[in-house]
Amino acid sequence: MKRAIFPGSFDPITLGHYDIISRSVSLFDEVIVAIGINAEKKYMFSLEERMTFIEDAFKHEPKIKVTSYNGLTVDYCKEVNAEFILRGLRNPADFEFEKAIAHTNRDLAPIETVFLLTAASTSYISSSIVRDVIRNNGDYTKLVPNSVKLK
């Protein structure tokens, strides 16, 4: 079974994330959207809310699972028997950053990183932009799946 982990904070999931996850289903037997927990980070949405946003967005796709984890992504990959880490690339800066992480991960474990380019229509969207739009009462709904709803 080809199992991939798509790690991130997903605070919140964006249409860019949604695009990468949707397209990855044809490449892997199972895609685990894994929300990394970082005690140092202040999140806009709770872990439960973020998990629900993703689960609701993909409720009709049985190949997608949503989990959370602590620690190194490669350790979590070993724990769930995932051979691949899936990452999305929006721009050249993303590539340089992700390349360094991918090399480090390969030094730590026999895990391959697979990069997918985001669709041109979503390449400008990031979770930090979405959070800024939300904080300033803008129309965030154009940037996220329908499952992302504010209380």
How far apart are alpha carbons 112 and 110 in whole angstroms? 7
Catalytic residue among 24, 50, 87, 127: 127
Query: Does 59 participate in catalysis according to the annotation?
Result: no
CA–CA separation, 49 and 53 (whole Å): 6
- 3 flagged as catalytic: no
CA distance 66 to 51: 7
Considering the candidates 17, 24, 50, 87, report the single residue annotated as catalytic.
17
Q: Which residues contact 117 (CB under 8 A, 6 or more apart)?
A: 88, 89, 123
Closest CA to 84 of 74, 70, 96, 95: 74
In 3D, which of 70, 58, 60, 71 has the Cα closest to residue 32? 58
Does the active-site annotation cover 131?
A: no
In the set 26, 65, 90, 131, the catalytic residue is 90
Q: What are phi and psi of 66, to 5 degrees?
A: -125, 125
Active site residue 17: yes
Choosing from 26, 41, 60, 151, which is the catalytic residue? 41
Which residues are catalytic, by number? Answer: 17, 41, 90, 127
